Amino acid sequence: MAKSLSPSRPFHYPQPGEALYCGTVSIEKLARRHGTPLYVYSADQIVERLKLFQSALAGREHLVCYAVKANSSLAILKLLAGHGAGFDIVSGGELERVLAAAPEAAGRVVFSGAGKTAAEIDLALEADILEFNAESEAELELIASRARRMKKRARFALRVNPDVFAETHPYISTGLTEHKFGVEIGKAAAIYKRVASNRWLEPHGVSVHIGSQIRSSAPFGGAAERVYKLVKQLKRAGIELRNLDAGGGLGIEYHAAPFDAAAKVAEWAKAVTCAIDGFEGRLLLEPGRFLVANAGALLARVLYVKRNGSKTFVITDGAMNDLIRPALYEAHHEIVPVRPRAGKPKVVDVVGPICESGDFFAHDRALPPLEPGDLVAILDAGAYGMAQSSNYNTRLRPAEVLVEAGKPRLIRRRETIADLLGPEIA
């Protein structure tokens, strides 16, 4: 029997001995219909998570700008836009996605990223996005020159680096001066003052983002406090900023432990709003993972179970190209059988067919017995799963299904070999 899943996940076993469901939808049926590997997401949970932020901040002017990079599926962008979300983008491609899914949301887009090109800046100016999160003085110069060509004023927020330590994996920590992101907070005021007279640049906000999968609220409060100090300093100098963007990064629980999402959001909101007490402008935030991670699972089918020496390998048809987080960050994802078999758990490695030892979903994991043909669900894969997938080993990327109000809908068909070979010239 599988452990029952935490209520923070939309996947559950309705009865002991029954197979896994997403809401009222049978996972086995979805796998039969669409094949595997397959991503399945709960739209209801994504909206519920968005609403947690919206209601925690209801007392003040705010805008939740979903970090598109976490899961950039058009259907998910459209869903979130429909519930009032804005977007945090980091490329022209992500802007094109927002414009395709929800053109009416263009004015709710902030554009982050340390290496924006002239073409990307032009696209954003044409779309009249809310503001650029500029990451260097040189970038501000380029934004100003593109804005001048277009005879448009560019609203910008300087992304500052607050030098706050966020306890997280080094690859996804961004708020220290040793990182490539933003400008040192101590130098920010001088930059605002220098560009204040440029008629093509409108100082509109300030932004900060200290990293991802941060479990404690304290570093968010610490960063917001430093940023608000800067806002007050600028106000005294006659530069009034309308938006304070606190970034994303709120972490989730990837293990089987209980997780109270509402309490987490409340704690985050308290830390940030206390730190900026007295700020009269609009609070922006850029959550990605928190909105979509728990909502999604990657389904894979067991192809073979084999023993090598002392180890047992469960080889699935899903692989590191479909979900790279374990290989890249040694990330933990819970794995559950879709139809649990009776019997003692066995310690196994769950791996894919790719020709690398890094191709694994779990090492030395105790799982209920698995046999070829069984389905497994790799949980909490809604963020940075499909978005970081690739065609490595010329594998076709998975299909995706969104379950909304009890109805499953294919939101991306499985790739075909023609999709892959199309751009190539032999």
What's the distance, Cα to Cα, between the start and end of the chain in Å?
A: 52
Q: Of 77, 134, 172, 275, which one interacts with ligand LLP (CB under 6 A)?
A: 172
Q: Of 37, 86, 288, 368, which one interacts with ligand LLP (CB under 6 A)?
A: 288
Q: Are 158 and 201 in contact (CB under 8 A)?
A: no
Q: Which is nearer to ligand LLP, 21 or 111 (CB)?
A: 111
Residue list 95-154, contact with ligand LLP (CB under 6 A): 112
Q: What is the distance between the alpha carbons of residues 329 and 122, in angstroms, rounded to a whole number? A: 35
Give yes or no for residue 162 binding ligand LLP (CB under 6 A). no
Least Cβ distance, residue 284 to ligand LLP (angstroms): 10
Q: Which is nearer to ligand LLP, 264 or 289 (CB)?
A: 289
- How many residues make contact with ligand LLP (CB under 6 A)? 22
User: By rule CB under 6 A, what string of x and - marks binding of each residue 182-211 to ligand LLP?
Assistant: ---------------------------x--
Tokens for 101? 């899914």
Q: Is 355 a catalytic residue?
A: yes
Residue list 268-287, contact with ligand LLP (CB under 6 A): 286-287
Q: Which of these, 217, 228, 226, lies nearest to 271 by C-alpha position?
A: 217
Region binding ligand LLP by CB under 6 A among candidate stretches 27-35, 241-249, 259-267, 344-352: 241-249
Question: CB under 8 Å to 231, separation ≥6 — which residues?
Answer: 206, 241, 244, 276, 279, 281
User: By rule CB under 6 A, what string of x and - marks binding of each residue 19-58 to ligand LLP?
Assistant: ----------------------------------------
Least Cβ distance, residue 412 to ligand LLP (angstroms): 19
Q: Which sign does the torsion angle of CA 77, 73, 21, 409 carry?
A: positive
Least Cβ distance, residue 213 to ligand LLP (angstroms): 5
Q: What is the distance between the alpha carbons of residues 38 and 179, in angstroms, rounded to a whole number? A: 35
Q: Of 325, 365, 395, 397, which one interacts with ligand LLP (CB under 6 A)?
A: 325
Cα separation values, 218 from 222, 262, 267, Å:
6, 17, 9
Least Cβ distance, residue 343 to ligand LLP (angstroms): 33
Question: CB under 8 Å to 310, separation ≥6 — which residues?
Answer: none
Q: Of 290, 315, 338, 411, which one interacts with ligand LLP (CB under 6 A)?
A: 290
Q: What is the distance between the alpha carbons of residues 250 and 264, in angstroms, rounded to a whole number? A: 8
For helices 137-150 and 118-127, give the axis angle rounded to 10 degrees: 60
For tokens 């977007």, what's the residue?
A: 87
What is the DSSP pairing of strand 243-245 with strand 282-285? Answer: parallel
Supply the residues annotated as catalytic. Answer: 355
Residues at the interface with ligand LLP (CB under 6 A): 67, 70, 88, 112, 172, 209, 212-213, 247-250, 286-290, 325, 329, 383-384, 388
